[in-house]
Amino acid sequence: MAAVLFDFSGTLFRVETTESWLRAVLAGAGHTLPEPELTRTARALEAAGALPGGVEPEEIPADLAELWAVRDQSAELHRAAYTGLSRRVALPDAGLYDALYDRHMTPAAWTPYPDSARVLRTLRDRGVGVGVVSNIGWDLRPVFREHGLDACVDAYVLSYEHGVQKPDPRLFSVACEALGADPRRVLMVGDNRAADGGAAALGCRVHFVDHLPTEHRPDALLPVLDLVV
């Protein structure tokens, strides 16, 4: 393999829990909720799918369905979709909806999987090109920099910067071109079979991992090193 493409959320990094997310935003805004209410609110936000990178919504409201389908094509669409979901849940201050969205874009909200650094640094040391291909509405580069992994990534291809989202093969094509790699010699690693599987249309090999909490997935990326020979 000449290069490896990685998805971001659920593959290399995991977003914080919905409760941690809510607690951080409430504390930052100077709000407090009784513990039972905070727990109920966090569960409601999780069911709504309001945390980007978290669990999928249990149900997409009809008035958000069209927006949801194209949410990763621009920063504006992404924010509108996720704040639209969070607004289904009552919060003590209307400003908290945007504050929640802003929080998820901070490096503090993300934790790399235990084996991410080892795999990325090993690929770099082997001279294998590395790209990050993500359906996302914001710039994730600061997350990699904060966790000391930016030097391991040769190209970032983010849907909102190109107006195209996975599984559209055009996004993977941009990544392969950025790395100067023939797609037939590229491995795509991701957690979403529908979205990340789109790379196969170009001839890329595809490898999937499960989107699990970091403590439950200590070494799922390590097989990637054996696939790149």
- Among residues 108, 125, 153, the one where a domain terminates is 108
Query: Is 119 in the same domain as 166?
Result: yes
Query: Is 82 in the same domain as 187?
Result: no
Taking Cα atoms as reference points, which of 18, 68, 53, 26 lies closest to residue 140?
A: 53
Q: What does the pLDDT look like over 57-100, one tens digit per residue? A: 999 999 999 999 999 999 999 999 999 999 999 999 999 999 99
Q: What is the pLDDT of residue 168?
A: 98
- Among residues 54, 85, 108, the one where a domain terminates is 108
- Among residues 75, 108, 141, the one where a domain terminates is 108
Q: What is the rounded CA–CA span in Å between residue 45 and residue 86?
A: 6
Per-residue pLDDT of the chain (229 residues), as tens digits, is: 899 999 999 999 999 999 999 999 999 999 999 999 999 999 999 999 999 999 999 999 999 999 999 999 999 999 999 999 999 999 999 999 999 999 999 999 999 999 999 999 999 999 999 999 999 999 999 999 999 999 999 999 999 999 999 999 999 999 999 999 999 999 999 999 999 999 999 999 999 999 999 999 999 999 999 999 7
Query: Is 30 in the same domain as 10?
Result: no
Query: Is 125 in the same domain as 62?
Result: no
The CATH number that applies at residue 199 is 3.40.50.1000
Which range marks the domain in which residue 131 is found?
3-14+110-227
Burial of 215 (0-12, 13-18, 19+ CB in 10 A): exposed
Q: What is the rounded CA–CA span in Å between residue 98 and residue 109?
A: 15
Domain count, the chain: 2
